[in-house]
Amino acid sequence: MDELTIAMPKGRIFEEAYELLVGAGYDLPKELDDSRKLIVEAPNEKFRFILAKPMDVPTYVEHGVADIGIAGKDVLLEHDRDVHELLDLGISACYIATAGLPDTEMDEVTPRIATKYPAVASHYYRSKGEQVEIIELNGSIELAPLIGLSDRIVDIVSTGRTLKDNGLVEYEKIADITSRLIANPVSYRLKQQRITELVDKLREQVGR
């Protein structure tokens, strides 16, 4: 049986992804969750897990150092990677939206948009025929309109709490987001049986 290397996103998505795999019947080590180790073996299943930053999961998969991975659709929209999207896992549901201070118009000359999704934001405003300046940040995007760095943000909304607690409001929804199972195209061909078996078990689990 071929060993499968799986890139897992650390952080928010991790727990739901882990539960999904356990629910699908896989025998996974507890330390996947509990330790700071970045590579964890699951010998009973011949799985090797790489624990990566969510934004980096498709990079590992595209380069073939992970056969498959679990990545948010937000990351897949932002970086056009050469990976197969095999299954919508339906977990970590949220959406990308524009937001800003309430009752404010965007600057008429060059509205400034702060985001950690520059490609998604550019594409969105271009599709509306609006010219904007994109300001790329790595986190705490909600700060930008509060301190006058931007007119709007393009960011993930999950519970809406961060916007609310900072006195911001949502303007337009851009895209619904869930996590996806992705595969390296060569691994998919060479380890098709193992990967298909995993997809079938997960599909049953997520009811799709």
Using CB under 6 A as the binding criterion, the count of chain residues that bind ligand PRP stands at 12
Q: Using the rule CB under 6 A, which residue among 28, 48, 77, 162 binds ligand PRP?
A: 162
Beta-carbon-side half-sphere exposure of residue 84 (alpha carbons within 13 Å) = 17
Please identify which residue in 20, 61, 141, 198 interacts with ligand PRP, judged by CB under 6 A: 141
Q: Which is nearer to ligand PRP, 75 or 181 (CB)?
A: 75
**Residue 30 interacting with ligand PRP (CB under 6 A):** no
Could you say which of 105, 148, 159, 207 contacts ligand PRP (CB under 6 A)?
A: 159
Candidate residues 13, 17, 157, 182; the one interacting with ligand PRP per rule CB under 6 A: 157
Q: How far is the CB of 176 from ligand PRP (least distance, A)?
A: 14
C-alpha closest to that of 169 among 103, 107, 100, 113: 100
184 neighbors 62 (Cβ within 8 angstroms): yes
By CB under 6 A, residue 156 contacts ligand PRP:
yes
**Is 147 one of the binding residues for ligand PRP (CB under 6 A)?**
no
Candidate list 129, 147, 161, 207; residue touching ligand PRP; CB under 6 A: 161
**SS3 breakdown of the chain: % helix, strand, coil, rounded to 5?**
35, 30, 35
For 139, phi and psi rounded to 5 degrees? 175, 175
Whole-angstrom distance, CA of residue 56 vs CA of residue 183: 14
Binds ligand PRP by CB under 6 A, chosen from 77, 160, 166, 170: 160
Determine whether 58 is exposed, middle or buried from the number of CB atoms within 10 Å of its CB (0-12, 13-18, 19+). Answer: buried
Q: Which residues pair with 7 in a beta bridge?
A: 50, 69
**Based on CB atoms, which residue is closest to ligand PRP, 24 or 156?**
156
Residue 174 binds ligand PRP, judged by CB under 6 A: no
Q: Is 131 in the site for ligand PRP (CB under 6 A)?
A: no
- CB 164 to ligand PRP: min, Å: 8
**How many C-beta atoms surround the C-beta of residue 86 within 10 A?**
18
- The radius of gyration of the chain's CA atoms, rounded to the nearest angstrom, is 19
Binding site for ligand PRP (CB under 6 A): 139-142, 155-162
